[in-house]
Amino acid sequence: MNEALGKNLRRERRALRVRSKLRRTGDAPRLSVSRSVKHIQAQIIDDASGRTLAHVSTTAKSLAGDLKGKKKTERAAFVGSELAKRAKAAGVERVVFDRGAARYHGRIKALAEAARAGGLKF
């Protein structure tokens, strides 16, 4: 099997596995994380009403000064703590973590731990 095809297949399977587990626990809003090579973004989504309750991204111009000079993992941790603050302001305390097809390590893990430290429970 082509190596790139195998990688994509594993990625798709991982995403489906995560999503199927989230469907079973649909009572809390979903903290969805998306990352690219350079940036990371996280949002809290209420799937029942289809609304985004809080959103933070490294591409936001309002956060550019706070993120300048930080490494990618440090930026992810900052995004996690900022998301926790915005979630508290929106009245959200408990979420389910949706990492998509990304593995739980590196920037994804840093964001999750910072959100937990900020007061979110998942």
* Model confidence pLDDT, tens digit, residues 45-80: 998 888 999 999 999 999 999 999 999 999 999 999
In the chain, how many domains are there?
1
Asked whether residue 79 is assigned to any structural domain, the reply reads yes
CATH number, domain at 79? 3.30.420.100
Cα torsion at 79, 82, 84, 89 (round to 10°)? -150
What integer best gives the mean pLDDT of the chain? 92
Residue 23's pLDDT band (cuts 50, 70, 90): confident
Structural domain span for residue 102 = 3-117
Please tell me what DSSP assigns to residue 121.
B
32 within domain boundaries: yes
Please tell me the total number of residues recorded for the chain in this structure: 122
Compare 87 and 25 and report the one with higher pLDDT.
87
